[in-house]
Amino acid sequence: MPVIFHQDNLVALLSAADATAEQSSTLNTSEPIRVAGSSLLEIQLMALRRAGCSFFIIEVDHVSGALLAMVDRFRRDGLSLEFARNTNDLRELVQPGMRLIIQAEDHFYSDEIIADLMAHKTAFLATIDSREENTDFERIDLNTRWAGFASVNAEVIFKMKELPDDWSLVSSLLRQAVQEKSEFLMLPQVHLQNKAIAKIDNKAKASELNNHILNLRTKKSSGWIEKVFYAPLAKFLAPKIWSNPSLSSLSRYSGFIFALICLASAFLDLPILALCSALIGLFCKYLDSVVQGNDFALKNGIWPDGIFWLILCTSGLVVAYSLSNYGSDPISFMAVMIGLAILGRNLTLPDWCKAWILSPSLIVICLILAVLMSVFSTGIKVLVLAQLLVLIAGRHLSERKHVNND
């Protein structure tokens, strides 16, 4: 009978044995391989956490200062992490009824693939075929290679004999699972071609994966300004920020800093400064989304996105109030403009429509031009009318396409 596993009995075994051994042999002078500003071990931890795992065991030869600092940070964030050097350590940390998730060192998996694999409740080994481009992965038999991910019943740990000091726990568990004829779950080769699965054992492969991640993250935005201007600049700046932890912290909060400057400038009746600060804040927020990425982030932090947008919307209403004159009502039109922008995010629209409606930077640029030309009241009315026409046209074309497809 297959064992049905529950999240409460879930434990993940990861490895940092090769990395710690290498750092020890070079007196910590070797620079670890990093992807999107994080070590591969951090990426594995965060991906498995988002998939529902909160208990982790890390295989180590010794615990370096950098590894201990990383583990302490994750523990403060609510995860349970323990170290294991041999099978006796594992037996003390797990129980036979647990489901043991194994991910090999230096193996990158996207969140989507992790979620799909975690949905399988029976024991399995994720495998790929033994074609030439898969030679980086560990061979199981003549035609099959291990893709670096497995799910087994923790009982296998209690069936293993004590291992010599230089033997890998992960590799030994793999051999034990193969001997017990665990299911081979063959993964499509397209996952490797799309870099949803990759073995990153040198800096050239890490750089290639970084470029792929940047392309994916910059494609997520639908706005025209964001695609044409922000994306290339973000691709240039992101690797520099990843390589400098202080710059990473600055990029995380710079968007909110400029949003607060925008709000203060609006209350001080400085509309140009307020709108320009909003524009810079929007770019900083976009850059931070590319640098941090929802796919690798632990949490959104103490500044949820909603607060950022609330500050900018409030600033917009204050600017509209300060620029209102006799017989005009820009505050109402500003509120309608914000409402249409929010509405557009929840509608199915063509790409050309999204490029205009879902580009807050484009709206801010139009407002700046209206202020500079001293036609703010008229300009915001024209902008709202343009938004409405684009939304109606986009929605009509979407519905018409849907009817034709049916």
Give the per-residue pLDDT at 2: 38
What's the mean pLDDT when you consider all of the chain? 86
Contact between 258 and 277 under an 8 Å Cβ cutoff? The reply is yes
**Tens-place pLDDT, residues 224-282:** 999 999 999 999 999 999 988 788 878 888 999 999 999 999 999 999 999 999 999 99
Tokens found for residue 35: 């992807």
Give the per-residue pLDDT at 326: 66
Give the per-residue pLDDT at 8: 56
Q: Is 94 exposed, middle or buried (0-12, 13-18, 19+ CB in 10 A)?
A: buried
The residue-averaged pLDDT of 280-303 equals 74
The residue-averaged pLDDT of 54-76 equals 89
